[in-house]
Structure 1
Amino acid sequence: MNATADKSTDHDLERAIPYLLARAGMRMGQSFSKELKQFKLSLTEWRVCVALHHKAHQRLSDLALHTSTDASTLSRVVDGLLQRGVLVRDRSDEDARALALSLTEAGRDLTLRIIPLAQVYERVSLSGLTAAQAESLRDMLRMVYDNLAVLDNE
Structure 2
Amino acid sequence: MKTLVQDHDLEKAIPFLVARAGARMGNAFSKALKPYGLSLSEWRVCASLQHTPNQTLSELSVHASADISALSRIVDRLAAADLVQREKCGSDGRAVRIALTPLGLDLTQEIIPLAQHYEAVALSDFSVAEVKTLRALLLRLYANATPLA
User: What fraction of aligned residue pairs are identical, expressed as a percent?
Assistant: 49
Residue 96 of structure 1 deviates from its aligned partner by 4.3
Match of residue 22, structure 2, among 13, 16, 25: 25
1:70 maps to 2:37: no
Instruction: Give the corresponding residue for 1:106.
Output: 103
TM-score (normalised: structure 1): 0.90
Structure 2 unaligned spans of 5+: none
Take 1:148 and 1:32, find their aligned partners in 2: how far apart are those partners?
A: 26
Give the AA of the match of 2:43.
W
The alignment's TM-score, normalised by the length of structure 2, stands at 0.92
Please tell me whether residue 141 in structure 1 is matched to residue 138 in structure 2.
yes
Any idea what SS the aligned residue of 2:112 has? helix
State the shift of 1:92 in Å: 3.6
Q: Judge conservation of contact 1:86–1:103 (CA < 8 Å) in 2.
A: yes
Paired residues, number: 145
CA deviation profile, 1:25-78 (whole Å, cap 9, x unmatched): 110111000000000000000000000000000001110111110111111110
Which secondary structure state, in structure 2, belongs to the residue aligned with residue 75 of structure 1?
helix
Instruction: Give the drift of 1:91.
Output: 3.2
Write out per-residue CA displacement over residues 91-128 of structure 1, whole angstroms, 9 at most, x where no aligned residue. Answer: 347x4432100000000000000000000000011111
Check the 8 A contact 1:88/1:102 in 2, yes or no.
yes
Partner of 1:83: 80
Structure 1: segments with no counterpart, 5+ residues? 1-5
Worse-matched range after superposition: 8-17 or 18-27: 8-17
Q: Which runs of 4+ in 1 moved over 2 A?
A: none
Q: Which moved more, 1:117-126 or 1:96-105?
A: 96-105
